[in-house]
């Protein structure tokens, strides 16, 4: 069974600046579908797994939401607060040796620096929504069930997930066991249904040069909305 990239490998990618997945602007699909993510509600509590240093956090925070992220690489967490000029505090996480919690002054931006799978609902609380931009597709296939069960456990009644996935010909991809993994709408449904209804919102071509160099002739991104009962 395929494995994903280890935390050490992610650390090395950040140290060497190999972070092509990071966008220097707000994700256009988030701005287009934020009302579907929040169900039009104000002051939602939103979870962002494997958040890196995305400025989507600030964009959602400025709109009144509370954002909780998790990121295993400390360099990414520090870069987020420094690049956004946001003052922060750092505290230990009770019961989680080595884990740290970074949060801004008003407490509406929190980022846990730890392994995602060390977290649970007892530590995090529950959420109105989850913004999964490139997180599930970064998880090794062997951990997808564990991942989807964790995400489902964090959502309250009527919760939603806005999820971006990628499609490509796996046989063409030269970077074996390298994210982003290809994950179809049917595969997402297999992970989350019947707990959630999965709706396709958007499909677009995203064959960037780096993926052409990896052997791909085509690559698409799909945006899915998951609605939980």
Q: What CATH number did the domain enclosing 68 receive?
A: 3.40.50.150
Q: Is residue 86 situated within a structural domain? A: yes
Other Cβ atoms within 10 Å of 217 Cβ, number: 10
Q: Is residue 38 situated within a structural domain? A: yes
Smallest Cα–Cα separation from 70: which of 17, 109, 126, 34?
109
- pLDDT confidence bin for 51, thresholds 50/70/90: very high
pLDDT above 90 coverage of the chain, percent: 83
Q: How many domains does the chain have?
A: 1
Compute CA distances 21 → 50, 120, 201, 228, whole Å. 11, 26, 21, 28
Q: pTM of the predicted model, to two decimals?
A: 0.90
When pLDDT is averaged across residues 38-58 and rounded to a whole number, the result is: 96
Kindly report the average pLDDT of the chain as a whole number. Answer: 91
Q: Are 101 and 84 in contact (CB under 8 A)?
A: no
How far apart (Å, rounded) are the C-alpha atoms in residues 111 and 225?
Answer: 24
When pLDDT is averaged across residues 9-35 and rounded to a whole number, the result is: 70
pLDDT above 80 (res 5): no
Q: Is residue 76 situated within a structural domain? A: yes
pLDDT above 70 coverage of the chain, percent: 90
- Encode 41-63 in three state secondary structure: CCCCEEEECCCCCCCHHHHHHHC
Smallest Cα–Cα separation from 221: which of 208, 209, 204, 207?
204
Query: Which residues are within 8 A (CB) of 74 and not within 5 positions of it... i.e. 6 or more apart?
Result: 100, 113
Give the CA radius of gyration of the chain.
17
Which range has the worst mean pLDDT, 7-21, 92-106, 153-167?
7-21
How far apart (Å, rounded) are the C-alpha atoms in residues 210 and 77?
Answer: 25
**At 208, is the secondary structure helix, strand, or coil?**
coil
How far apart (Å, rounded) are the C-alpha atoms in residues 217 and 148?
Answer: 30
The per-residue pLDDT for range 190-209, each reduced to its tens digit, is 999 999 999 999 999 999 88
The per-residue pLDDT for range 76-119, each reduced to its tens digit, is 999 999 999 999 999 999 999 999 999 999 999 999 999 999 99
By the 10 Å C-beta count (0-12 exposed, 13-18 middle, 19+ buried), 167 is classed as middle
Q: Is residue 1 situated within a structural domain? A: no
The residue ranking higher by pLDDT, 36 or 2, is 36
Q: Is residue 2 situated within a structural domain? A: no
What is the domain extent for residue 110?
A: 7-228
């Amino acid at each position: 069974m395929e494995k994903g990239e280890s935390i050490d490998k992610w650390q090395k990618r950040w140290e060497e600046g190999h972070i092509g997945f990071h966008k220097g602007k707000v994700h256009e699909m988030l701005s287009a579908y934020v009302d579907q993510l929040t169900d039009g509600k104000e002051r939602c509590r939103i979870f962002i797994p494997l958040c890196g240093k995305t400025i989507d956090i600030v964009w959602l925070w400025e709109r009144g939401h509370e954002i909780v992220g998790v990121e295993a690489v400390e360099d990414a967490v520090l870069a987020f607060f420094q690049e956004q000029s946001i003052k922060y505090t750092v505290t230990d996480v009770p019961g989680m040796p080595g884990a740290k919690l970074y949060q801004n002054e008003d407490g509406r931006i929190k980022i846990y620096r730890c392994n995602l799978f060390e977290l649970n609902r007892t530590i995090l609380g529950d959420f109105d929504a989850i913004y999964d931009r490139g997180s599930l597709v970064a998880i090794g296939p062997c951990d997808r069930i564990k991942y989807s069960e964790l995400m489902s456990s964090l959502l309250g009644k009527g919760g939603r997930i806005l999820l971006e996935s990628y499609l490509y010909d796996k046989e063409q991809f030269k970077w074996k066991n390298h994210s982003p993994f290809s994950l179809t709408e049917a595969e997402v449904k297999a992970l989350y249904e019947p707990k959630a209804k999965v709706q396709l919102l958007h499909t677009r071509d995203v064959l960037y040069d780096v993926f052409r160099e990896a052997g791909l002739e085509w690559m698409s991104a799909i945006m899915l909305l998951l609605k939980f009962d």
